[in-house]
Structure 1
Amino acid sequence: MSERDKGLLALRPEILGEIHPQSSAEEIFQNRTLRPVLKLQNDIFVEAFVNYAVKQKGQFFLLSTEKQLHYIENAIQKDEKFRNALKGMIIALFTVEEYREYITNSSNLNKRMMNLLTERLKDQVQLLIK
């Protein structure tokens, strides 16, 4: 394992979510890799979303909480450029082995990644209002 990989793993918080013998490979990757990386990167995701909302004329900040939640979902699902930037913030913190595993099933793992990130931002909607 390279020094880079060792350093990345050392930065990550504890594994979130349980891994069972019947867990699928995607669930294991989600709990071993995605959840810790998302937790580690949380502050940058909040700042990235606030920046995105400001650049979109700041309408997000005028919406009701319910509409803000929908806005978050919509931004991540429909704005390909923003979604790709978020994916890059996650993938950049994969080890080489994790990246190799990711590319074998990137489509399904991307869906999990974006769903987890969407829920994380929605759970913190109050932090997005500055």
Structure 2
Amino acid sequence: MISKLDIRPKLELTAIGRTEGFQNVTLRPILKLQHDIFILMYRNWAEKHRVKLVSINQDEFSNILENSFSRNNVVKNQLLGIVIGQFTVNEFEEYKLESSEYNKRIFTMIKKRLFDSFEELKS
């Protein structure tokens, strides 16, 4: 039987400390695995909110992205659910210990990933 760990991309990252280790060993591979879902979900959000991604520049997109994360808990919770749903039981136990810190890291990495994927989002 294939496990959740088997389907994740293998990343060669080093880490100092437990929190950074969880970020590099668990979170980053999950974010890479779920990249296409993040793109589709954000595109869907943009369409529902009548944000014309094709007609804005990257600076405007940066502002929209920040606002969508700061003002819209629905989007944040959906994105967070996409990540948490990929955790193993042990990973979830670790996540619970520092959930606020991990959530900040997750949102920062997703925003960066979406910003860096601006052209992909537009197409």
TM-score, length-normalised on structure 2?
0.93
> Quick check: 1:13–1:36 contact (8 Å CA) kept in 2?
yes
Structure 2 gap segments, 5+ residues each: none
CA-to-aligned-CA distance 1:24-75 (integer Å, 9 cap, x gap)? 2110000000000000000000000000000001344432221112211221
Q: How far apart in 2 are the matches of 1:16 and 1:64?
A: 33
Identity of aligned residues (%): 34
Q: How far apart in 1 are the matches of 2:42 and 2:74?
A: 13
Pairing partner for 2:10 from 10, 14, 29: 14
> Quick check: 2:53–2:121 contact (8 Å CA) kept in 1?
no
Aligned to 1:124: 117
Pairing partner for 1:93 from 80, 86, 91: 86
Q: How does 1:34-45 map to 2 (within 5 A)?
A: 34-45=27-38
Q: Give the ranges of 4+ consecutive aligned residues of structure 1 lying more than 3 Å apart after TM superposition.
A: none
Structure 1 gap segments, 5+ residues each: none
User: What is the aligned residue count?
Assistant: 123
SS where residue 114 of structure 1 aligns? helix
Q: What amino acid sits opposite 1:18 in the alignment?
A: T
Q: What amino acid sits opposite 1:129 in the alignment?
A: K
Supply the RMSD in Å over aligned alpha carbons: 1.4
